Amino acid sequence: MAQHLKDKEAFQRLNFLYQAAHCVLTQNPENVELARFYCFTQKTITRRLVLRQDPSVKRNFCKKCCSLLIPGLTATTRQKKLRGKNRFTVIKCVLCGQSKTFLNNPDHSLWVDRDEAQLELQSSKIMEHQHKGGQKTKPAESPSSTPAAADTAQ
């Protein structure tokens, strides 16, 4: 239970750092170094506590210089058509030149967004499968539930 509270506080802190970096850059575009510091701190906390961030948040950071990628301010965004009919979005960091390429397919969904990635749905599907007779082994009975144990208890 203490681990859950610790994670909640860490995610709140990460959320604050992300919002602070975004606000600092949008209010004054010259505060790039302060925003980079916030992003670097966020990356350090995530790595130290072994937490997973949402892909939409991770896509907004440059892996090389830890800057927040805002199109038109700290990044350039281009659409490219590569490998036949596939379209890609290329985001290039203005500060260090690092580029990221993302598939631009409307039918594509991230693993995090799929139903089978949710633990609650996985556990409910397993329970349904077990109730339908999909369970191959029976659970071990406790000694108090057997008739012989009941007779000896009286």
Residue 91 parent element (H or E)? strand 87-93
Instruction: Give the 3-state secondary structure of residue 52.
Output: coil
Give the pLDDT score at 146. Answer: 47
Give the pLDDT score at 152. Answer: 46
Q: How many helices (H) and strands (E) are present in the chain, helices listed first? A: 5, 3
Give the pLDDT score at 134. Answer: 54
Say which residue the tokens 């301010």 belong to: 73
The amino acid at residue 121 is L
Give every residue of the chain whose pLDDT is below 50, as ranges.
Answer: 1, 137, 139-154
For residue 67, which of 91, 94, 102 has the smallest C-alpha distance? 94
Give the pLDDT score at 131. Answer: 65
Share of the chain above pLDDT 90, in %: 47
